[in-house]
Structure 1
């Protein structure tokens, strides 16, 4: 059975990283700045945050990234916003909810896959134990048969 790493990322840490990166993109800041910020908050290196984002999370947030970039461009084109604050937050909230649902689905599938792997390993172990018990039982039967034959001969 495989244990969990002590430094494994939690769902909450993933969400914090994703929300921070998306906010920094929206605000026109760099992802590196976001990695540093989250790294400080989670006592991780910015490189670890960057690796987690690029290797695991980014693909689940593509739509939200594009939306954050387009919102940043819209805001930088004019000092006066095109929309009211409430209107610009709605697409961001929708994209964030969509991204979080995708992330939740990813983790549920991951959890199910991990549980299935553990159950398969346990099943294999139980099969091995059953086979050993069957062999011992056959050996006991063979010994009992010898004793019965000896008893008949005497």
Structure 2
């Protein structure tokens, strides 16, 4: 049996209804299996599970300086196509999202040039989405 690579990530959330509103409503992800305290999401073909812990992250554990921006750590996200990246950025703006790092072109003209943006979910989980004009540059040094 051959399968395509797919990641699975479980993240803590404070409120399942808020998770549904954000992941399903704002991000537009399809909901899979669920129970009172967890929901599976189709995260662009990958599985993200929100598990209700009742505890909100007050702030990221730390930050790292990348291209003159303080990147929140930990964070998770995905590499999108450039059109999908800009569509998501517009969707987040329309929803009134507060960006941790506004969408911008990072490493312009250098190896690994990429569009990137960071925002928090309602439980304080930091998320990064990025896009490369040339996906062969994802691991460029």
TM-score tier, shorter chain, comes to under 0.3
Larger radius of gyration: 1
So what's the TM-score if we normalise by structure 2?
A: 0.22
Larger relative contact order, structure 1 or 2 (CA cutoff 8 Å, min sep 6): 2
